[in-house]
Amino acid sequence: MNFTELARKRHTTKVYKNTQEMPQDILDQLLEATSLAPTALGAEQARVIVARTKEAKEIVAPGFMGFNATKVLTSNATFIFVGQTKKYLIDDEAKHLKENISFFDLNSEMGKNTLSGTVGWYNNDASRSEFLDIIAAGNKSSYLTLKATELNLASTIMTGLNYDTMENILRDHNLLAEGERAILGVTVGTEDETNEINQNIKNHKLRKPADQFAAEIK
């Protein structure tokens, strides 16, 4: 399947079959693809928390709106993307930003330049820098769901969260630092192919054609 075929095939699943938890090798493949998505400045403003066991899914389910909580409980795994705000990354002499880009040797010329460039950019652009974690989570969730499709797994990207509840749940389990926020969730599992809504979504890719969503400067 080439990329466009994969993108055409990916669709939102509304109802999953109640199935087992996701095997480790599948989770590893999904997380690798997710990690390959780009982030602004390479600053890795989003990370993901995985709920795979029945118990873990039950813990996070109340953090989703009712119609999504059912998906969580019947998924093979649920992924919660949390984002790191500008303040979180830059405060404390950019402590958390340094952790995020520790794959650079921060004592090398390149590492020093990367760090100071990133901090400088964050501090100079007071507007869009507030949203980079949301963009990072969007990019990462796209890669995750496309990889799931490639592995013949169904998926759902969800912003239908009870955000305050979700953040409290994550904080209670020491999974969310002060300054991090919940952004979106993704369920991955096995589609209930007998469900009519699923069939309908699968068979109708409703999209604006390019001549309506794109404009070209001539």
Ligand X SMILES: Cc1cc2nc3c(=O)[nH]c(=O)nc-3n(C[C@H](O)[C@H](O)[C@H](O)COP(=O)(O)O)c2cc1C
CB of 37 to ligand X, least distance (A): 14
Binding flag, residue 158, ligand X (CB under 6 A)? yes
Binding mask 186-215 for ligand X (x = CB under 6 A): ---------------x---x----------
Q: Please say which residue, 113 or 200, places its beta carbon nearer to ligand X.
A: 200
Tell me which residues in 12-31 interact with ligand X (CB under 6 A). 12, 14
Of 176, 202, 195, the closest CA to residue 16 belongs to: 195
**Which of 139, 159, 168, 195 is in the footprint of ligand X by CB under 6 A?**
159
Task: Name the strand (E) or helix (H) holding 60.
Answer: helix 54-60
> Which of 7, 41, 44, 25 is closest to 180 using CA atoms?
44
Structure tokens at 63: 């953090």
In whole angstroms, how far apart are CA 176 and each of 48, 172, 207? 10, 8, 36
What is d(CA 40, CA 70) in angstroms, rounded to the nearest whole number? 33
Backbone angles phi, psi at 19, to 5 degrees: -130, 180
Contact region with ligand X (CB under 6 A), list: 9-17, 28-36, 112-120, 167-175:
9-17
Biggest CA-to-CA distance, the chain:
58
- CB nearer to ligand X: pick between 85 and 198: 198
Of the candidate residues 62, 98, 104, 160, the single one contacting ligand X (CB under 6 A) = 160
In the bound state with ligand X, the residue whose beta carbon lies nearer, of 92 and 130, is 130
* Residue 158 CB, nearest approach to ligand X (Å): 3
Interface stretch with ligand X, choices 7-15, 29-37, 39-47, 100-108 (CB under 6 A): 7-15
Q: What sign does the CA torsion over 98, 104, 105, 110 have?
A: negative
- Give the x-and-dash track for 58-87 against ligand X (CB under 6 A): ----------x-------------------
- 101's tokens: 């880009």
CB 82 within 8 A of CB 182: yes
* Interface residues toward ligand X, by CB under 6 A: 11-12, 14, 68, 156-160, 201, 205
